[in-house]
Amino acid sequence: MQKMITVISNVLRGSATKNGAKAVSEGTRVVVSARTYADFTPQATFDIKKCDVHRLEEGPPVQAVLTREEGLQYYRTMQTVRRMELKADQLYKQKIIRGFCHLYDGQEACAVGIEAGINLTDHLITAYRSHGYTLTRGGTVKEIMAELTGRRGGIAKGKGGSMHMYTKNFYGGNGIVGAQVPLGAGVALACKYQGNNELCVTLYGDGAANQGQIFETYNMASLWKLPCIFICENNKYGMGTSVERASASTDYYKRGDFIPGLRVDGMDLLCVREATKFAADHCRSGKGPIIIELQTYRYHGHSMSDPGVSYRTREEIQEVRSKSDPISMLKDRMLTNNMATVEELKEIDVEVRKEIDDAAQFATTDPEPPLEDLCNHLFYNEPPMEVRGTNPWMKLKSVS
């Protein structure tokens, strides 16, 4: 009797963690299914870090509302990106994925937060660290993993690889540092010209921020008031060079000079979401471009050949992991506010893991593209064009 009263009082106090602990001993499934929707807090308001602003009178709000459904969805997506990258790391080390591969783990809050702040009909372009965005823009884990292994079922038919992934309204996946930024402004011009109230999110890193074409683009975007959100994902290192050693000004949000800017905590999904919403409103109201600097961190090295510890300490990485991991942050928020149970999140983890394992299985068994596809898509051509092979007698076909 005493025990029952304790349990009831716990529920009334809304102590999710205690309930969770109890639930484990009593069998997860039974308890979860026995709980009703009313047991959870349907939505909660969180205080978030204030953004630094440049040429703006007001920044994004310092409070954000998160509903339970949103929370669970964000959690699942971030966890999927994290697990997918860890699997990619594993497959790379097994030499199943070859070539160049840049992993996104640590930066999940950026991709997921940005997507939460725009519409799927808006446009997005990024550089070579593109796996996360491919997923948030609508690609599937299966397609991404198969692209990494260069198989027929890959999102670019196995021809693009890690850096070159594309899907609707997602223009890649671009291997040359900074080269995607002018393209993004061009996409924004098309949005403006067509008057469809859409915008383009143009992403680049702190390394690319020093490329000349970024500044050419700022000028054009501002001159023509293009609906373009420039987002600098500042993960503190351009390959092996820390931002302080590469940039005369590390205030990346101010480097558009005449373009307004925000500096945002890129490890907090809610901060990213609110800033993106704010920036999207700014663009859609016809005020022209805006720059967001997302302060984030990559757990892996720049690419697979970089262990990532020769220019930063293991302690530094460990500290970020333990203190500001984007997934842990969201998880804590949801648990402490009784928006989800530990078991529920664990169940999501199990499902995600299964999805990743299935995708990896597909990516290792799906056949490679046939040799006849070798020259396809060189040019637009109708009828198929002949392409010279390694000798004048070897004719290959290019079909597009």
Partner 1 sequence: MAAAARFLLRTAGSSKASITNVNSGLHSKFGATLLRASPSCHPLAKTQKRHAAHFTFQPEPVQTKYGPTQKMNLFQSVTSALDNTLASDPTAVIFGEDVAFGGVFRCTVGLRDKYGKDRVFNTPLCEQGIVGFGIGVAVAGATAIAEIQFADYIYPAFDQIVNEAAKYRYRSGNLFDCGNLTIRAPWGCVGHGSLYHSQSPEAFFAHCPGIKVVVPRGPVQAKGLLLSCIADQNPCIFFEPKILYRAAVDQVPVESYQIPLSEAEVLQEGSDVTLVAWGTQVHVIKEVAAMAQEKLGVSCEIIDLQTILPWDSETVCKSVVKTGRLLVSHEAPVTGGFAAEVSSTVQEECFLNLEAPIARVSDDQLLKCRITWSSEAQCRH
Q: Which residues bind partner 1 (CB under 8 A)?
A: 95, 98-100, 150, 158-159, 161, 163-164, 175-178, 207-208, 210-213, 238-241, 245-247, 305, 310-311, 368-369, 371, 374-375, 378, 387-394, 396
| Rounded CA separation 10/61 (Å) | 34
What are 158's strand-pairing partners? none
Q: In what order do the strands lie in the sheet with 290-295?
A: 52-54, 261-265, 290-295, 228-234, 200-205, 123-125
> How far apart, in Å, are the Cα atoms of 282 and each of 4, 172, 383?
54, 24, 47
- Look at the block and give the residue holding tokens 């995600």: 352
Q: Minimum distance between the CB of residue 240 and partner 1, rounded to whole angstroms?
A: 5
Give the DSSP H/E element, type plus range, for residue 307. Answer: none
| Beta strands at 200-205 and 241-242: parallel, antiparallel or unpaired | unpaired
Q: Which residue number, 270 or 359, has a Cβ lying nearer to partner 1?
A: 359
Q: Which residue number, 247 or 276, has a Cβ lying nearer to partner 1?
A: 247
Q: Minimum distance between the CB of residue 378 and partner 1, rounded to whole angstroms?
A: 6
115: tokens are 């997507």
Q: Minimum distance between the CB of residue 237 and partner 1, rounded to whole angstroms?
A: 11
Peptide bond into 61 cis (omega under 30): no
Q: Which residue number, 56 or 246, has a Cβ lying nearer to partner 1?
A: 246
Q: Minimum distance between the CB of residue 380 and partner 1, rounded to whole angstroms?
A: 14
372: tokens are 């006849």
| Rounded CA separation 82/89 (Å) | 11
CB atoms < 10 A from the CB of 204, how many?
Answer: 27
Q: Which residue number, 34 or 309, has a Cβ lying nearer to partner 1?
A: 309
Q: Which residue number, 37 or 379, has a Cβ lying nearer to partner 1?
A: 379
Q: Minimum distance between the CB of residue 182 and partner 1, rounded to whole angstroms?
A: 12
| Beta strands at 63-67 and 43-47: parallel, antiparallel or unpaired | antiparallel
Categorise residue 173: left if φ over 0, alpha if ψ from -120 to 50, beta otherwise: left
Question: How many secondary structure helices (H) and strands (E) does the chain include?
Answer: 14, 12
Q: Minimum distance between the CB of residue 11 and partner 1, rounded to whole angstroms?
A: 56
Residue 161's closest CA among 210, 97, 235? 97
Q: Which residue number, 223 or 378, has a Cβ lying nearer to partner 1?
A: 378
Q: Minimum distance between the CB of residue 126 and partner 1, rounded to whole angstroms?
A: 15
Q: Minimum distance between the CB of residue 100 and partner 1, rounded to whole angstroms?
A: 6
Q: Which residue number, 27 or 99, has a Cβ lying nearer to partner 1?
A: 99
Q: Which residue number, 197 or 250, has a Cβ lying nearer to partner 1?
A: 250
